[in-house]
Chains A and B, each alone.
Chain A
Amino acid sequence: MKKLAYEKPVISKITAGVPNKFGLPTKLKTISAIDGIAVEKLMQEYGSPVFVISEKTIRETYADAKQAFETRYPKVQFAWSYKTNYLDAVCSIFHDEGSWAEVVSAFEFEKALSLGVNGSNIIFNGPEKSADDLKLAINHNACIHIDHFDELYLLIKVTRELNKKARVAIRINLDAGIYPIWDRFGFNYENGEAWNAINRIMLAENLDLIGLHTHIGTYIMSANAYAIAASKLANLYMATHRKFDHWLKYVDLGGGFASKNTLKGAYMPGTETCPSFDEYAEAISNALISSEIPHENLPVLFLETGRALIDDAGYLLTTVLANKRSTHGRRTMVIDAGVNLLFTSFWYNLGIYPTRDLSSHVEESTIYGPLCMNIDVIRDAINFPQVKTGERLVIERVGAYNMTQWMQFITFRPNVILIDLDGQPHIIRKKEELASLQNFEQNPKR
């Protein structure tokens, strides 16, 4: 006789008086395959946990963003934000699509050069640029975005020493009507500091001012903030022309577009609330086109969006290690991927899904990582079905920042796999091993 299907016994307390506007989905989403390859197959071949990146999703997302801007504004150039994900294979896809490189350190600069990016197609941002870094950028004719006056004067000194011209822009911080105002980077617009910097640069023999840059924040959920920022850059653009009879070449609106992840504490899910590329493009393009800049002198619009272009393409595949009950009866689960791999779990309620249909009964649960550290919490509250140990789970939208801000802690960082356009998986970063880590160490003889 065929035996009955077993389902774990469950009791759940009925909580009245706490209405949930959204209710519970009748069926939890499952992710059984990525670009046609079964999750189970990937994990058997490449281990657990394992990061998986979809080239198809990267290219489709990039195409969406490009179309949104290019159908609204005549001159658009994307620059790939290296710090968001600087794996060679990922950067190469963006460069293949036509992106320049946007780097914030000499390390990233050299990485871009090693990938064949022409130095003049590198934007060098960030507050940390040594004299040697500036020499590297000048010698490769990069666009140096000056962050502060000390850097400006150091740059003047370096160009004199080299007797070479530097192509420069300034980073500007401004009030775009959002909180918090990022005023730690660049020169302030409202108090005239940015205008002073422009005047000083225009007087410098060896500096060729070619652009204006702002980056108003991160995960900006108001497209209108970009319109305000673009208008202020347009004002400086015109003021520079009026005073110096000099047309700048570009304005750079930076990044900060939200991905579809849900921020911790958000009332609504990110998929419902985050502006689309079209909304950002509409706000920025309208502000520039309707400014007093003559149409024949409109600057190239640079965009350094990182998160919104790569987050959706990244998955982390993980395995359930244990199910537990807290002393308060709360269900908890331990998985084999911790916060050392998922820096963004500190900001987002990451989406975690099973690979197959499980029980329709869900229970509010806490999901812990495997680290022997109390802070290793991947989700502090998620409605999740009962799962057995060994069950495979998929964490989605982890393409941005995790593979650059991860840390080697307690265990090795895992394989990173890229699934190419033909549906073939490739290891693009090998799992670490003891020898690769000990290679950096020296143990003094005693």
Chain B
Amino acid sequence: MKITGEIKISDNGFVFNSRTGDSFNLNPFGLELLKNIETGKDFDQIKNDVLDRFDIDDLTFEKDFYEFCALLKHHQIISQDDPLDFK
């Protein structure tokens, strides 16, 4: 799972996809997750960091994370070469 080359992410949560022309807004936590994905962290690393800092249980976060990733994929912000690559 990696961020496609045409994606530009600003520090205030604005995302632009130069391939499709679409632009997006992220909420602060969405921006943090996307930045973490951009740096190549895998799910377990991100999860451990989030559980340390935020008042959230692991199952709820896992559900929200994969829903978020599904949206990123839908909007062609991240790509997943292998459809069976769950993480």
Contact = CB atoms under 8 A, between A and B. Distances in A.
A330 to B, nearest CB: 10
Contacts of A328: 74
Q: How large is the interface on B (under 10, 10 to 19, 20 to 34, 35 or more residues)?
A: 20 to 34
A5 B74 contact: no
B26 A6 contact: no
A12 B25 contact: yes
Contact of B29 (A3, A9, A12, A388): A9
A18 interface: no
Contacts, number: 67
Contact of B67 (A3, A5, A325): A325
Interface string A309-347: 000000000000001010011000000000000000000
Contacts of B53: 3-4
Q: Give the secondary structure class of B's interface.
A: helix
A388 B60 contact: yes
A251 B23 CA distance: 62
Q: How large is the interface on A (under 10, 10 to 19, 20 to 34, 35 or more residues)?
A: 10 to 19
A308 B68 CA distance: 43
B27 A325 contact: no
Contact of A9 (B22, B23, B33, B77): B33
A276 to B, nearest CB: 40
A11 B55 contact: no
A3 B54 contact: yes
B28 interface: yes
A3 B55 contact: yes
A8 interface: yes
B71 A8 contact: no
Q: Give the secondary structure class of A's interface.
A: loop
Given A12-B25, A13-B22, A6 B56 contact: yes
Contacts of B54: 3-6
B15 interface: yes
A361 interface: yes
B13 to A, nearest CB: 9
Interface string B12-42: 0001000000111111111011100000000
B26 A10 contact: yes
B28 A11 contact: no
Interface string B44-59: 0000000001111000
Interface string A359-395: 1010000000000000000000000000010000000
Contact of A4 (B23, B55, B65): B55
B71 A11 contact: yes
A422 interface: no
Nearest to B56: A6
Contact of A14 (B24, B33, B68): B24
19 contacts: A4-B53, A7-B27, A7-B28, A9-B26, A9-B30, A9-B32, A9-B33, A10-B26, A10-B30, A10-B68, A11-B24, A11-B25, A11-B34, A11-B71, A11-B75, A11-B77, A13-B75, A14-B22, A329-B71
Interface of A: 3-14, 323, 325, 328-329, 359, 361, 388
